[in-house]
Amino acid sequence: MPTNYQCPALFISAIASGQGKTTLTAGLARYYSQQGKQVRVFKTGPDYLDPLILEAASGHPVEQLDLWMMGKTECQQLLANAAQQADIILVEGVMGMFDGNPSGADLAEAFNLPIAAVIDAHAMAQTFGAIVSGLAYYNPKLIFAGAIANVTGSQRHRDLIRNSMPNEIRLLACLPKHTDFSLPHRHLGLVRPHEIIDIEARLDSIAEFIAESDLKNYCIPEVTFKSTDNVQIMPRLTGLRIAIARDEAFSFIYAGNLRLLTALGAELEYFSPLYDQQLPECDAIWLAGGYPELHMQTLQNNQPIKAAIKQHFNANKMILAECGGMLYVQETLTDLHGNTGEMLGLIAGDGIMRDKGGCQGMQSAPLPEGEIRGHAHHHSRSENTLEPIAYGKRSSQHPALGEKIIRQQKLTASYLHLYFPSNPDATVKLFQGKY
């Protein structure tokens, strides 16, 4: 029986990427946590890296919310679950408020989330108010809580911003520029928190800064979240043992994927292609995405685990290789410095990193087992590959072909990161390897 749960909630959006959404969301999460509140944070879109920073800030796991990839029902249930446990829910947006289809604004509208817009104001003054007006009135169905002026300068600058605001729209805070708050990036996004030596100090500093700003006086509105009727998942993978690569090189794993596999009855074991000398006893292997290019030499030199995976492949057992996992199962990988390492060589292909360009976007994988939704995000290309069995289908209906999907024996490889709960039946068939 569906039940309603109330919890204060705020959707933190912006006019574009690079405005400070993640920094502010992380700071708020740490600030409220320091006040003794239970904070649950979500990230809009199929992002693996921002959630790690937000998890470090809040002290709790952070999951993605995406209306296209996950569907409204699952997003709704995740929010309802959080509302049962939390004192505050924060949702970080993606790109600009209205970017994408569905956009962050669509997600906020679907669940009546009040929106706070972060705007980097360092190169503007009175135009700030005009931009805020556009955001607030572009879609009258949205609940616009107010704006946060980020990277402001002098007191005079802040006064100009305040005076530019429409009377009916609240300026939640003016945050001065602070160089210590920046979070380091690399080619796929933010650097993972365990690689940032002073991450805890940075998060505490941001929280302290918020404690001294007007944001400390802002009372986040309560939102009603309604639970859904849970769909019964039958344990159709009972007894199936899945070995999942998880270490510094392979870490892009959705929590929803693990929940589904567990609900299906699969036995999940984890291993490290970097450090382990042997595989766990398993029927299937899942090589998730990550940063194999940063650990190319170690991957190349770990001959025992390479031999074990090759033996699994030669025994005609199931392997799913996604993005970084696909780079690992191909023959070679060349990093941004031109260094080339020998990978598994299970299938033809040479992965080459590139510092510009790449691919990102929502796509579904039309597998023979059924269509599974997901996304692509990479800064590499693969050459000399096998002929694909299919191409990804873009959610935007763009006529260009999506990512190649390659299959040899029971190995399926693609740049696509799959979201298994989008099609549990296809996921069962995929991991059973009956093809």
Q: What's the rounded Cα separation, in Å, for the pair 65 and 424?
A: 18
Q: What pLDDT score was predicted for residue 270?
A: 98
Q: What's the rounded Cα separation, in Å, for the pair 81 and 99?
A: 27
Phi and psi at 241, nearest 5°, equal: -100, 120
Sequence-distant (≥ 6) Cβ neighbours of residue 303 within 8 angstroms: none
User: Among 226, 260, 291, which residue terminates a domain?
Assistant: 226
Pair 185, 279 in one domain = no
Phi and psi at 3, nearest 5°, equal: -130, 145
Pair 261, 118 in one domain = no
Q: What's the rounded Cα separation, in Å, for the pair 186 and 403?
A: 23
What six digits make up the tokens of 120? Answer: 């980097």
Looking at residue 100, what DSSP letter applies?
A: B
Pair 277, 423 in one domain = yes
Pair 66, 176 in one domain = yes
Pair 70, 170 in one domain = yes
Q: What pLDDT score was predicted for residue 179?
A: 59
Pair 217, 266 in one domain = no
Indicate which CATH number applies to the domain containing 268. 3.40.50.880
322's enclosing H/E stretch is strand 318-322
Pair 272, 135 in one domain = no
What six digits make up the tokens of 308? Answer: 């074990």
Range 306-313, long-range pairs (CB < 8 A, 24+ positions): 306/344, 308/278, 308/279, 309/273, 309/279, 309/285, 309/344, 309/346, 310/344, 310/345, 310/346, 312/279, 312/282, 312/285, 313/346, 313/409, 313/410, 313/411
Looking at residue 293, what DSSP letter applies?
A: G
Instruction: Encode 182-213 in three state secondary structure.
Output: CCCEECCEECCHHHCCCHHHHHHHHHHHHHCC
E strands, 102-156, where? 115-120, 144-152
171's enclosing H/E stretch is strand 171-176
Pair 181, 251 in one domain = no
* Range(s) of the domain holding residue 258: 241-432
Among 7, 174, 282, 323, the active-site one is 323
Phi and psi at 145, nearest 5°, equal: -75, -30
Pair 55, 167 in one domain = yes
Pair 28, 147 in one domain = yes
User: Among 200, 226, 252, which residue terminates a domain?
Assistant: 226
Q: What's the rounded Cα separation, in Å, for the pair 156 and 97?
A: 28
User: How would you write the pLDDT of the chain (435 residues) with one tens digit per residue?
Assistant: 679 999 999 999 999 998 999 999 999 999 999 999 999 999 999 888 888 889 999 999 999 999 999 999 999 999 999 999 999 999 999 999 999 999 999 999 999 999 999 999 999 999 999 999 999 999 999 999 999 999 998 999 999 999 999 999 999 999 888 755 566 554 444 555 555 566 788 888 889 888 888 898 899 999 999 998 777 899 999 999 999 999 999 999 999 999 999 999 999 999 999 999 999 999 999 999 999 999 999 999 999 999 999 999 999 999 999 999 999 999 999 999 999 999 999 999 999 998 766 667 899 999 999 999 999 988 898 999 999 999 999 987 777 788 999 999 999 999 999 999 999 999 999 999 987
Q: What pLDDT score was predicted for residue 401?
A: 85
Q: Is residue 234 part of a domain?
A: no
Pair 215, 344 in one domain = no
Q: Tell me which residue of 382, 385, 381 sits closest to 357, measured CA to CA.
A: 381
Q: Is residue 233 part of a domain?
A: no
Strands 250-252 and 289-290 turn out to be antiparallel
Q: Decide: residue 349, CB within 10 A, 0-12 exposed, 13-18 middle, 19+ buried.
A: buried
Sequence-distant (≥ 6) Cβ neighbours of residue 169 within 8 angstroms: 132, 133, 136, 144, 146, 147
For residue 196, CA distances in Å to 22, 183, 201 come to: 15, 9, 10
For residue 316, CA distances in Å to 238, 246, 312, 313, 422 come to: 20, 22, 7, 5, 27
Q: Is 114 left (phi over 0), alpha (psi -120 to 50) or beta?
A: beta
Q: What's the rounded Cα separation, in Å, for the pair 395 and 416?
A: 13
323 catalytically annotated: yes
What six digits make up the tokens of 324? Answer: 């970084």
Q: Is residue 231 part of a domain?
A: no
Q: Is residue 213 part of a domain?
A: yes
> At which residue do the structure tokens 């450090």 appear?
275
Counted domains in the chain: 2
Indicate which CATH number applies to the domain containing 51. 3.40.50.300
Q: What's the rounded Cα separation, in Å, for the pair 172 and 175?
A: 10
Q: What's the rounded Cα separation, in Å, for the pair 110 and 18?
A: 25
